[in-house]
Each structure stands twice: as C-alpha cells, then as structure tokens.
Structure 1
Amino acid sequence: MKYEKSDVVSFAIFIIGILVCIIFAYNIYRSGKGILDVVPVIGSIASSFGFVIAIVQIAKVRSSSEAARRAAQEAKSRVYNYVSLSDISSSIKMLDEVKRYLRDENYIAAEIRMSDLRGKLTKVKDHSSMNYVGKKKELAGIVSDLGMEVTNLNKTIMDRSKSYDRVKVMEKLERAKDIIQQMESRIKFGENVSKR
C-alpha cells in the first residue's frame, strides 16, 4: 500500500506526540505529583500535536480538492473541444453540400444550407475553445461572408433576372473550407499543427 507524504508526516507527528506525552507523564509522576497533575499537562501536549496533525490533513484535503478542480476543468475543456470538433466536422460537410447545390443551380437548397452553416459556424466562433485554435478572426470573416451570400441568394431567388456569381462564391467557400479544416486539425492533433 502506498502512503502519501502527508499521511507519513501525520503518523510521525502522532508517534512523536505519544512519546513526548509518555516522557512528560513519566517525569511528572516521578517527581511525586499525582495523576491529577499529569492529566492536564498530557492533555495540553496531546492537543498541540493534534492541532499540528489537523493542519497537515487540512493541507492534504486542500491539495486534493485543487487537483480535483483542475481535473474537472480539463475534462470540461476536452468535452468542449469534442463538441467544437463535431460542429466543425459537420460544417465541412455542409460547405460541400452548399457547393454542390450551387453547381446544380439549386439556389433555394443552397440558401437553406448556407444559412444553417452560418448558424453553426457562429456557434463555433463564439465557443471558448476557438481562442485555443487561434482562428477566431478568420471564422468571423467567414460568418460575415456567409451572411452576405445568404442575402444575395435570397435576392436571386426572388428575382431570377438577377445573376449570381456562383464561381466567385464557390472560391470563397473553398477558402473557408481550408480555414475550417485547419481548425479541425488543430483541435484533433493539438499544438503541432501549423497555422499556415
């Protein structure tokens, strides 16, 4: 069985306290004083050692609670990263869907998926783990561009005589996909991934 340092220290203080109490009791009793003189002195000494043991144990509990708090914080951070990773991965798939709808000139479906994508990326952008990933500014630009493109698509849907530059939008979407894939890699594989 493995003992912690604080347990060993507490046990050593306990043994030393017992020995000191025995020595004092023996010396007081040997000097001719009665048991009523010995008990208060031994009680005071035992209380002093008990107080020191209590301080050691409180310090142990404090360090244990700090370790538990840190572990809980790390677990929370990992869960947030998994949620972000899931949202980012599904965003990449949504980007591909939007591009496919644009290629097929299915503007209504493209607008719906682009709007969904914008909402999902807004959620990812506002997530605290994006500070770790370091792409918050780029993601804000993507969300802004998607908002403008949703508006442009709506205008095209409402008035078919207006042209819609699908090639330009698909180029923007491809750049956005590159940034989002970098974010995904950074979350999956950590600090060693280059920011490009």
Structure 2
Amino acid sequence: MQVTPAHASAARNFCLHAHEGQTRKYSAKPYSTHPFRVAELLNLYDGSPLSVAAGYLHDVLEAGFDTTLEQLREAFPAEICELVERVSRYETCLARYVGKLAQCPLACRLKIADLIANVETLHLEPVQFSYRYLTKSLYTDRQLAHKNTPLAAAFLTEWRKQRRIYKTRNEHTKALACS
C-alpha cells in the first residue's frame, strides 16, 4: 500500500491520542511535542509521508505507553508499522539496537531525527542525565551518520551547542557546591 499524506495526518492524530495527558520526563510540556518535532525534522529533511508518519508514531510502542503493535497494525500500513517497530527500543544492548537500525536507511533517518529532538531539550534535563545522553547519542549518531549526511550534520550542530550548555551548567553546579 502506498503511504500518503493522509496516513501522516492519521499518525499525527494517533500520536495526540496515544500521548494524551503525558508530559516530557523533566518538564511540564506535553509528551506529544517530542514526536511532533521528530516528524517536523523528517518532513524538512526527507519529506516522505512514510517518514513523517513514523516520526509521529516512533515512541508509541515503547515502555510506559499503552499502544500495542497489533493496535498500530490495525490503524496503519505495514511499512509504517515495520519502521516504528524497528526504531522502538526493545534491545537492552545499545550496540545491537544500533546495528538493527543501521540495516534500514529510513530507520537511521528516524533515529537521528529523534536524537536531534532529544538533544534540543537537554538544557531542561538534570546535568547528570544530560552528560549520559550526550555520550550515548553521539555514539548512536556516529554509527548511523554515514546513512544520512544532512540529518547527521544537523545532529552534530545541535549536539555541540548542547555540549557547550552542559559544560557551562556543570561548571556552575560545581561552583555552587563549593560555595
């Protein structure tokens, strides 16, 4: 089945419903702001309805959310469901997870857009979390970057910006602890 803009619109609505009442981990922002940003990045760098739809849906199968793969399959074409399932983090081993992503260029684009959206909000996170995420996200991006140069370049730009913010916050936190 051909994935159309109507599927992306349906994914947007599904995302709103699936994440209704949920907030981002360290802020009061609605959780849906994250998948909306991922979909926006994918629309900007890819533009395909398949990528945009998967961007809206990329987190609905993860722990803490109530959507099942069967529900997703009932609502969307197989191509969307397969992409969402591929980027959903079931693996506890980061290297295996990244290896699974690397087999699919669309999954690489989706994951890098997800990394960008997460890194953009790191200044809202606790300093210790920011450091761990910066490290993990750089590893993931470096493993996938050769699959998608424009998005990878955008990720590195945002990563460097957030790293500077982290260093400033970390130095400020240390200074406060010493006073």
State which structure, 1 or 2, has the greater radius of gyration over its C-alpha atoms. Answer: 1
Query: TM-score scaled to structure 2, two decimals?
Result: 0.29
* Structure with greater helix share of residues: 1
